[in-house]
Structures are given as structure tokens and as C-alpha cells.
Amino acid sequence: MKLSKAHIKTLREVPAEAEIPSHILLLRTGMIRKLASGIYGFMPFGWRSVRKIEEIIRQEMDAAGAQEIHMSAIQPAELWQESGRWSAYGPELWRIKDRNGRDFCLGPTHEEIFTDLVRNDISSYRQLPMNLYQIQTKYRDEARPRFGLMRSREFIMKDAYSFDRDFAGLDQSYDNMYRAYEKIFTRCGLTFRAVDADTGAIGGSNSHEFTALSEVGESEIAYCEKCAMAATTERAECVDAPAEDAPLLALSEVYTPGTKTIEEVAGFLGVPQERTIKALLFVTYDDEGEFKEYVAAFIRGDRELNMIKLVNALGIPEHAIAFADEAAMGAATGSVGGFTGPIGLHDCKLVVDSELKGLRNLVAGANKEDHHIKNVNYGRDYEGDIVTDIKMLREGDPCPVCGAPVKHTRGIEVGQVFKLGTKYSQAMNATYKDENQEDHPLVMGCYGIGVTRTLAAIVEQHHDDNGIIWPVSVAPYHVIITLVKPDDQAQRQTAEEIYDQLAASGVEVLLDDRDERPGVKFKDADLLGIPLRITVGKRAAEGIVEYKLRREAEKTEKTVAEAVREAIALVAAEK
């Protein structure tokens, strides 16, 4: 492709709403074009990269035995009413009506469609297992679209659905897709973790989120570099400090004026924060939103409470709990804000972190203004109504799997694998007959990849101050030949010779033959992030060109033949 003919509009400045690197760079390179809030179009270079990601997905999905189909983006309401989801979703479900007033939606996902398809087509166990997939545009009317392709209202998703005769079969389909995903994201050049979204689920995980590590990601990840452990911090299991066997010392109340925080009381008494008990006070509500009970949660003083684990322990939804008004709770339970401890509370549910059971002689609030109690011991002095892990896994804590110190980062969810079981097949009567002609519901799994979100995640992981640094496998073009002086015969001839040789070898090559200053051409080559730049300049007459990989600072001079040979080798090795 000659750049003088290419329809591409690079930008120096981008709208203020573009805050993260991928959003800024995909706009500055002219690869995407915003149509409306959360709705983007793909221009030539952007579309070439999207198609390469799709091609990698197709190759690995087909290799895994899945079969590609292509369903409509428009879905009749009747199927969503049958699955019970039509009323389960709010304005995010993009509902529309046809000219006769019939209800449809723009599909946000396709469980109902694929289940309906298969219930009509599959009747026998002999047809199982089956995995059907599509690469289709999805619609979710997000309340706050942001970050460009990261959270848009229209996006391209590969969604696959597996159908098995039983859960053992589903486990195999799931593992098969899990391995295919590892290959796909590796080939896309992503650093990722399969985050266990069901930490602690009995009998294996029921879903994993494939998460590209990135500081701009929406989910916070705890992961281990030594083993494969990775979990969203809100779900990550923690390891309790080892139980202590020191003798139980006698309780003693101490005057600790004004020490309302853990830091203050630990400082005042000259003990480490690990030797104190932190209290957090809550009020919970029932399904009607009426007052249910007071809750006091206790964790080791240096730790942070994990709200997801607390509400799971209480068996309530996240919206049914709030921090308590300390005065009101004090009157009702005997707690005293800043001086609350587990001894002597009443009319209050005590949720005690499992770690406290094994620790000895801790400092806790005395439920008395300006006073604490030393040598508090679980069992002898108090008991919890609920005793379980309610702490946050911190950076440096031991990995719950292998004990190595865990790390924290953020992540962009680019793929999900779910075991659906019979949720949809029961609701929609999708069954098969076994060897004895008996009917059974199909056992399903579903598997998504955010294709356009993957494009953004790749840019987040592969850029520098000068622009994008495309992995060869998904770059819009492999090589850019920067012709310094288009009207210099020797240079132009050399550039076109290289161009023709590369193109003839299947290398996707750009020729920057524009009538622009060299500086502008070098800046654009860096911004666009083409993996390899071959500069044809004043030494062209000697048959010498400059060879530079976008991912390295080094520039080397090579003969035309060397440059062509090495370019072909680079692309063959990394595409």
C-alpha cells in the first residue's frame, strides 16, 4: 500500500475525553472514528488489525473443533421471555420494536439464540459434544461508556456455546476452550492471567476471566508469579497467620485517651498493629429495605476488610449493608465508636475473621470511651456468630496456593469461560435422547472474547511515548518503507524494489511516498507502530538502507538484500 493513496487521518491532538493510552492512540492513529457516545467505526488500519485478531481466533477455535456460524444481531423478545431474562435486565438491554410494534432486542449475548437453535437440531447423544461459535456485533446500552473500545455500547465479540451430554463432558469442553484461549491471547501478544472468578468453588471452578494485565483495567487482580494463581482481589482466598501457642494472659483494661484508630492505639501502647483487633460496624437490611440487624466485623488490626467476603458470609446482597451510625449502634449494642471490641456487645451479630481464632493476647476496644483491653483471646473471652475469612488479600501476603508472596495489578477482562450447566436448556427445554431413548437436558458452557476490547488491550500493553508498538501478529502492516526523498530517482527506485520483493514474499508492506518532511514520516511510522521500518535515504545509491525494529531503539545499516531477507524472516517467525 502506498501511503500517498491510503485513507488515513492521523491526529496531533485528541478530544479531552480520551484519557487512557489505547483510547488516545487508536484515535490519534486514525484507526477508529467515534460516531456517538460508546459507538465507534473502524478505519482501514484499525479494521485490518481487528480482522487479524478475528483470524487468530478462528484458527484456534476451528483447531479446537468448534464450528463457526453467524446469527443475527437482532433477537425476538419471545426467546428472552422464555428464558426469563427479558424482565431481568434494565435499560442496558437495547430493546427495539419493528414496524408492527413487535418487541426485539439488539443482542448483548446469544445464549437464548444458540439454545433455541440447538433444541431444534440436536435430538441424540450421538450428535454430542458440539461447540458452535460466531463473531458477531453485540449491543449493551451502557450507562457510562468510556475508555473508547474498552467499554463501548456496540462491540465485536466471539461467543461460543458448547453442548454436552453431562457435566463430565462439559468439563472437557471447558478445558478445551480454556487451552484455546491461552493460545489465542498468547498469539495476540497479550500478557494475561486466567483469573479464577469462582475462588473456592467446590469441585473446580465454574468460570475464569481471561484478564490482560494493565494499570487501566477495571478489575483488581491478585496473582502469583510462582504458580498460576490469579483471582480478583475481592474473591481471592487468604492464608491465616499461623496459630500461636503462647499462654493466655489475664485481661487488663487500659486507659488509652483519644486513640480511636488502630494506628493511634498501637502507637500509644507501643505494640505492632498485628497485635490489635480492628472493629468495623454495620447495619443490614432485609429484602423490603427494613432494618435487619447490627453487625460488628473483627479482623487483625493491620488488615483490610473484604466487603464481598463479608456479605457472602452474611448471605446478603451488597446493597443490603451499610456502615452503622455509631451513636445509634452504641445505644443498641454497647459498642463505642473508635473503642469497640468483641467483649460485652449485645444485640449484634459478630463476624470474626478466621485468623483471630489462633492469635493470642491481642488488644481490643473496651466498648468504653478512651479505653482498650489487653490480652483478649478468642474462645476464652468472646466467640463469633460467624467465623470465616473476611480479609483482603494484600500485596506480599502468602499465595493461597503455593505460599509465595502475591502481587497486585489491575486487569482488562478480554475473555470469559463459563460453565452454564442446564440453566438455559432447562428453561428452554433443550434436551437429547440417550442410548435408552431417555430425555436429558443438554449441559452447556459459554465462552466469550471481546475482539475490539482485545485490540485496545494490546495497545495498552504495547506502546511508548511515540505511539503504538504492534506485535507482528496483529499489526495493520508488517513493514513500512520510509522513502526520504520521493523525487530522488535512486531512492525511489530502491524503495520500490524493496517494496516489490517484500510484497511478492507475502509481507504486508507500506511505502511512505508522501511529499512530507522526513521528520513527519519518522513520527508517523512510530505513531502507527508498524513493527519494522526500512528507511531509504541518501545511501540508497550505494545499496544501503536503514533497518529499525519499532520495539528497539537500535538502527542498523544493511544492504537491500540483507534488509529484505531479515524482514521476511521476522514476519515468518512472528506473524
Question: Which range, of 173-181, 341-349, 445-453, 540-548, touches ligand 9G3 by CB under 6 A?
Answer: 445-453
Question: Which range, of 62-70, 248-256, 301-309, 441-449, touches ligand 9G3 by CB under 6 A?
Answer: 441-449
Provide, for the chain, the percentages of residues in helix, strand and coil under a 3-state DSSP scheme, each rounded to the nearest 5.
30, 30, 40
- The C-alpha torsion from 374 through 380 and 382 to 383, rounded to 10°, is 140
Q: Which of 362, 446, 468, 469 binds ligand 9G3 (CB under 6 A)?
A: 446
Least Å distance, CB 29 to ligand 9G3, is 29
Site for ligand 9G3 in 174-213 (CB under 6 A): none
Least Å distance, CB 309 to ligand 9G3, is 23
Question: Which of 109, 284 has the CB closer to ligand 9G3?
Answer: 109
Site string for ligand 9G3, 74-103 (x = CB under 6 A): ---------------x--xx----------
Could you tell me if 431 and 442 are in contact, meaning their C-beta atoms sit under 8 angstroms apart?
Answer: yes
Site string for ligand 9G3, 147-166 (x = CB under 6 A): ------------x-------
The H or E element that residue 277 is part of is strand 277-285
- Distance, CA of 258 to CA of 301 (rounded, Å): 17
**Mind giving me the DSSP string for 201-239?**
-TTS-SEEEEEEE-TT-SEEEEE-SSSS-EEETTT---P
Type of residue found at 394: R
Least Å distance, CB 158 to ligand 9G3, is 8
Least Å distance, CB 105 to ligand 9G3, is 7
Type of residue found at 296: A
Residue 445 binds ligand 9G3, judged by CB under 6 A: no
The single residue listed with the C-alpha cell 477495571 is 218
Question: Which of 111, 116 has the CB closer to ligand 9G3?
Answer: 111
The three-class DSSP label of residue 405 is strand
Residue 169 binds ligand 9G3, judged by CB under 6 A: no
The three-class DSSP label of residue 269 is helix
Question: Which of 119, 533 has the CB closer to ligand 9G3?
Answer: 119
- Distance, CA of 331 to CA of 34 (rounded, Å): 56
Residue 550 binds ligand 9G3, judged by CB under 6 A: no
Report how many residues bind ligand 9G3 under the rule CB under 6 A. 13
Least Å distance, CB 156 to ligand 9G3, is 12
- Distance, CA of 286 to CA of 319 (rounded, Å): 10
CA distances, 252 to each of 26, 53, 194, 399, 546 (Å) = 64, 66, 49, 36, 79
Residue 134 binds ligand 9G3, judged by CB under 6 A: no
Question: Which range, of 146-154, 343-351, 442-450, 488-496, touches ligand 9G3 by CB under 6 A?
Answer: 442-450
Question: Which of 109, 422 has the CB closer to ligand 9G3?
Answer: 109
DSSP state of 401: T
Type of residue found at 276: T
- The C-alpha torsion from 182 through 187 and 191 to 192, rounded to 10°, is -20
Which residues make beta-bridge pairs with 203? none
Least Å distance, CB 311 to ligand 9G3, is 21
Least Å distance, CB 134 to ligand 9G3, is 10
Type of residue found at 213: L
Nearest to 20 by CA among 190, 192, 146: 146
Nearest to 221 by CA among 393, 410, 89: 410
CA distances, 546 to each of 472, 513, 539 (Å) = 19, 16, 9
Q: Which of 108, 330, 411, 441 binds ligand 9G3 (CB under 6 A)?
A: 108
Residue 448 binds ligand 9G3, judged by CB under 6 A: yes
Question: Which range, of 23-31, 107-115, 234-242, 558-566, touches ligand 9G3 by CB under 6 A?
Answer: 107-115
Question: Which of 38, 342 has the CB closer to ligand 9G3?
Answer: 38
Question: Which of 149, 297 has the CB closer to ligand 9G3?
Answer: 149
Strands 362-368 and 371-376: antiparallel
Residue 125 binds ligand 9G3, judged by CB under 6 A: no
Starting at the edge strand that comes first in sequence, how are the strands of the sheet with 94-97 ordered?
74-76, 103-106, 94-97
Beta strands (DSSP E) in 1-121 are 32-36, 39-42, 67-68, 74-76, 94-97, 103-106
Could you tell me if 376 and 342 are in contact, meaning their C-beta atoms sit under 8 angstroms apart?
Answer: yes
Q: What is the CA radius of gyration of the chain?
A: 30
The three-class DSSP label of residue 536 is strand
Question: Which of 108, 301 has the CB closer to ligand 9G3?
Answer: 108
Least Å distance, CB 448 to ligand 9G3, is 3
Strands 467-468 and 371-376: unpaired
Least Å distance, CB 74 to ligand 9G3, is 14
Q: Which of 23, 140, 187, 533 binds ligand 9G3 (CB under 6 A)?
A: 140
Least Å distance, CB 351 to ligand 9G3, is 30
Site string for ligand 9G3, 404-433 (x = CB under 6 A): ------------x-x---------------
- The C-alpha torsion from 65 through 71 and 76 to 80, rounded to 10°, is 30
Residue with the shortest CB distance to ligand 9G3 = 448
Site string for ligand 9G3, 256-285 (x = CB under 6 A): ------------------------------
Question: Which of 232, 276 has the CB closer to ligand 9G3?
Answer: 232
Least Å distance, CB 449 to ligand 9G3, is 8
Question: Which of 294, 418 has the CB closer to ligand 9G3?
Answer: 418
**Residues at the interface with ligand 9G3 (CB under 6 A):** 89, 92-93, 108-109, 111, 140, 159, 416, 418, 446-448
